[in-house]
Structure 1
Amino acid sequence: MPGSTPSLPTVRADDREILRLALPALGALVAEPLYVLADTAVVGHLGTPQLGGLALASSILLIGHALFIFLAYGTTGAVARLLGAGDQRRAAHQAVQSVWLALVVGTVVAVVAAIASAPLVGLLGGEGAVRTNALVYLRISLLGFPALLVTLAGVGYLRGLQDTRRPFQVAVVTALLNLVLELVLIVGLDRGIGASALSTVVAQWSAAAVYVVWIRRAVTVHGVTLAPDRSAIGRLAVAGADLFIRTAALRGALTVTTAVAARIGTDDLAAHQIAFEIWNTLALALDAVAIAGQALIGRELGAADPVAARRLARRMIDWGLGAGIVLAGVVAASSWLLPHVFTDDAAVAALAVFLLWHTAGAQPVNGVVFALDGILIGAGDLRFLAWAMVGAGAVLAAGATLVVTAGLGIGWLWACLEAWMLTRLVTLWWRFRGDAWLVTGVPA
């Protein structure tokens, strides 16, 4: 929808709001992987079987984290919309119900995963001592899974309140707590891989406790009940189902690329993994803009101001594109060096350089896609996002199948990955250009 060009003071004010939310969000996103990095660094000194077990168990846990990220995303948009409408009481009520949903889902998933832990580890190829260590780490870590989901709900509540600073502080402090506990238990007291998992569990429950305290304060201020509300939880579950489908389609598409890379060749798979890890790292920076979008767009639509919502959305797209261009330049300039940080194999490094040029070329598109994703999540346009992701995933799956059947190389697989992102760009941009997502007010 065309509109007048905003004045320079308005643009600067919008930029300040976006950066106020995006920069602390970026810090929190970077801090979260420190849990796994700390575990890897410390457990690596216990031995190769322990490190292999950690790798398998962490893969399962990270998939769980990714699939249930809807607890943060869905809560952010809903709370921001209520904040914009001036209804802090219902926002606090939303937070309470999100925590209840997180506790129920987290407990059920933890129990089921614990029962199915042996088949899950076996599915990933765990055998012998690696399998034993993976089971120990996974089963202990699952004790913290409900806390992880409660933390996601708490993060979503604070983001919806336009506060990304406190989640950043919690992420940093709990990551440091995890590291200190690991050093004491494993290095100081000579405990095994189970102590590493226990350290993470303690850190996760500590984070969850902090968010529960903050939500409890809001409940007291606004006179909200702590009792579960079945209808509110049901609405959250419906919204969560759409985001779950979106995330599952996203993870499935990315898993397909790794599976196809493995079929192409060992060197190709190694190079793919290097480039893909860098792709994922860059995604953290781009996701910070998306988080700002979730919070700001939800707020403006809750305040029944679609003009401000679209104006902020356009500025976030500018930021996403700009960040993508900068990251593309950084990756292109460092592509000759980066692979050698990960491998000493000349053939793998050469392939990785080639794939990093693909990575660099995709970043401007990725930046816009991430921004649009955040905008539409903030608007609550979740059903569209779910099926748009399924459709884009089908495009990638078809291309990947062609790569396998035609015996094509790794470059063609990455072309499919880029086509996947372009498909997402086209569908999300088409949606953004219309008005269907500009639904104002709050649900009754």
Structure 2
Amino acid sequence: MNKEILRLAVPNILTNLTVPLLSMVDLYLMGHLNSTLFMGAVALGGVIFNFVYWGFAFLRMSMSGVAAQSFGRGNRQEMALVLQRGLMVAFSGAALLLVFQGPVGDFSFWLLEGSEEVKVIARDYYAIRIWAAPAAISLMVFYGWFLGMQNALYPMLISVSVNLLNVLSSVVFVQVLGLKAEGVALGSVIGQYAGLVIALILFFRKYQWAWHFFTSRLELLRVGFSKFMNVSGDIFIRTLSVIAVFTFFTSRSAGIGDVTLAANSALLQFALLFSYFLDGFAFAAEAMVGRWFGANDKRTLRKTIGFLFYWGFGLGALFTVLYAVAGDQLLHFFTDQQEVVDRGSDFLWWVVFLPLVSFASYIWDGVYIGATASVPMRNSMVIAAACFFFLPFFVLFPYLGNHALWLGMLLFMLARGVILTILFPRLLR
């Protein structure tokens, strides 16, 4: 069982690690310019794309669960139609986003807090990076579908290629051509479209059979479309709750001050690094749980979940020790501006505890996605965000300041895991 988990988890870990690596490089490039404004601007602009891309993350999540269950049943036609439905939704959403990019940007910058100097730079960043949206959203569909096919290697190859090209392009644009925030935005555009080309090449290399099942017959597409959209709708609401938490976290950090925004952005990379690492096992859970649900094998399902939690706890303990020992050194990696490092050190201890309190929420996410149990996922996330992040923050911010943001984040992560643990026996029945 451990061998099968690692076969799926390790490529996903390598895939996920390239994502925080990219954010870290962007922060590094901006953090070593001559002003804290660039670091804050890329963080603020990044919030908008987190909102946009996480808003479409329901495609990857619903794709992996539904495709894995079709794989477990051995239904090739349905496997192919799952991919076609996902790509149809992705193309439609991307087209709308490009058409309405102006109003989306205006509303986002009106909603977000931050100094006018930071927003001017962030707008330039947004105007360039928005053109990566069609490729980025389509890649979510391919990532989820490949994983549902029990193939973790292809998402790894695509993601590593995307992010390496992104990093290399950003370094050239910023450090050689002097483009600053516009440079890292252009790097994102180049990386995403290169990744889409690679995804298509890999798809036709191994899964050309699926292309022959694609259809223009609406009755075939409608058969499973309602289930796909129901699951997608629940996951969309669940994802909006996550977006609300992280968007508010960054926006409120900007409202406190530019230095706090830069420090919190750096510290948030610690939490994201762990989450992307542990998501490798969550993605393995999606593929394996979906497969055993599709095959109706509850005995293997229980055994799989038990092993996944052993891995989750071990990694949570490891990262807690790592951040306790090397947290200050990691802060210095992100920026050489001492005022940002000093501010970040004041709140570093919150990040130390995040891995241990949050590992269960990531593993359960993978389990529930694989089971396409979208309703409890939606409800638990809404409750955790409203009652354990926003409520404690608004009550305690007048007394704790920035510490209230980090306390809310800790309680939010803990509550997600606890609620899903309580709901699991009902899911199994």
TM class by shorter chain equals: 0.7 to 0.9
Matched with 2:409 is 417
Cα pair 1:83 1:161 within 8 Å, conserved: yes
CA displacement, residues 158-192 of structure 1 (integer Å, 9 cap, x when unaligned): 11111111111111222233344456666667778
Match of 1:82 in 2: 70
Structure 1 residues 128-150: Cα deviation after superposition (integer angstroms, max 9, x where no partner): 77655544432332222011111
Aligned-partner Cα distance in 2 for 1:206–1:123: 32
Task: Decide which moves more: 33-42 or 324-333.
Answer: 33-42
Q: What is the rounded CA distance, in whole Å, between the counterparts of 1:195 and 1:274 in structure 2?
A: 20
SS at match of 1:240: helix
Which residues of structure 1 form unaligned runs of 5+?
1-13, 439-444
SS of 1:436's equivalent?
A: helix
Comparing 273-282 with 130-139, which one deviates more in the overlay?
130-139
Deviations 1:232-270 (A, max 9, x none): 444333221111111111222234445566677887666
Aligned equivalent of 1:431: 423
Aligned: 1:305 with 2:328: no
2:397 to 391, 404, 421: 404
Query: 2:127 matched to 1:139?
Result: yes
In structure 2, C-alpha distance between the alignment counterparts of 1:367 and 1:416, rounded to whole Å = 17
Aligned equivalent of 1:4: none
The residue that corresponds to 1:9 in the other structure is none
Partner of 1:108: 96
What is residue 177 of structure 1 aligned with on the other side? 165
TM-score by length of 2: 0.85
Structure 1 counterpart of 2:84: 96
Q: Which amino acid aligns with 2:65?
A: G
1:154 aligned to 142, 145, 149, which one?
142
Aligned partner of 2:236: which letter?
Answer: F
Given that residues 51 and 247 in structure 2 are in contact (C-alpha distance below 8 angstroms), is that contact kept between their aligned partners in structure 1?
Answer: no
Question: Which residue pairs with 2:374 in the alignment?
Answer: 382
Alignment of 1:214-363 (within 5 A): 214-216=202-204, 218-220=207-209, 223-227=212-216, 229-258=221-250, 272-335=264-327, 337-342=329-334, 352-353=344-345, 355-363=347-355
Q: How far apart are the structure 2 equivalents of 1:430 and 1:118?
A: 41
Q: 1:213 to 1:226 in 2, by over 3 A?
A: farther
* 1:28 is aligned to 2:15: yes
1:117 aligns with 2:105: yes
Considering only CA atoms, is the larger Rg found in Structure 1 or Structure 2? 1
Equivalent residues, number: 423
Question: How high is the TM-score relative to the length of structure 1?
Answer: 0.82
Q: Which moved more, 1:162-171 or 1:222-231?
A: 222-231
Q: Aligned in 2, Cα 1:350/1:33: closer, same or farther, shift over 3 Å?
A: closer
Query: 1:313–1:338: structure 2 CA closer, same or farther, 3 Å change rule?
Result: same
- Name the CA shift for 1:47/1:232 in 2 (closer, same or farther; >3 Å): farther
Alpha-carbon distance, 1:15 to partner? 0.8
Q: Secondary structure at the residue paired with 1:32?
A: helix
Report the residue type matching 1:320 in the other structure.
G
- Over aligned residue pairs, what C-alpha RMSD do you find? 3.4
Please tell me the residue identity of whatever aligns with 1:22.
Answer: A
| Structure 1 residues 344 and 180, CA gap change in structure 2 (3 angstroms) | closer
Which of 163, 167, 188 is the equivalent residue of 2:155?
167
**Aligned partner of residue 365 in structure 1, secondary structure:** helix
Percent of aligned pairs with the same residue?
A: 26
Which of residues 52, 60, 66 in structure 1 aligns to 2:54? Answer: 66
The answer as to whether partners of 1:35 and 1:200 remain within 8 angstroms in 2 is no
Q: CA deviation at 1:23?
A: 1.2
| Structure (1/2) with the larger helix percentage | 2
- Report SS of the residue matched to 1:163: coil
User: Partner of 1:442 in structure 2?
Assistant: none
Match of 1:366 in 2: 358
Question: What's the secondary structure of 2:400's corresponding residue?
Answer: coil
- Report the Cα offset of residue 276 of structure 1: 2.8
Higher relative contact order (CA 8 A, sep 6+): 2
Deviation (angstroms), 1:319: 0.9
1:391 is displaced (CA, Å) by 0.7
**Contact (CA 8 Å) 2:66, 2:228: kept in 1 or not?**
no
Q: Which runs of 5+ in 2 are unaligned?
A: none
Deviation at 1:331, TM superposition (A): 1.4
Q: 8 Å contact 1:289–1:320 — kept in the other structure?
A: yes
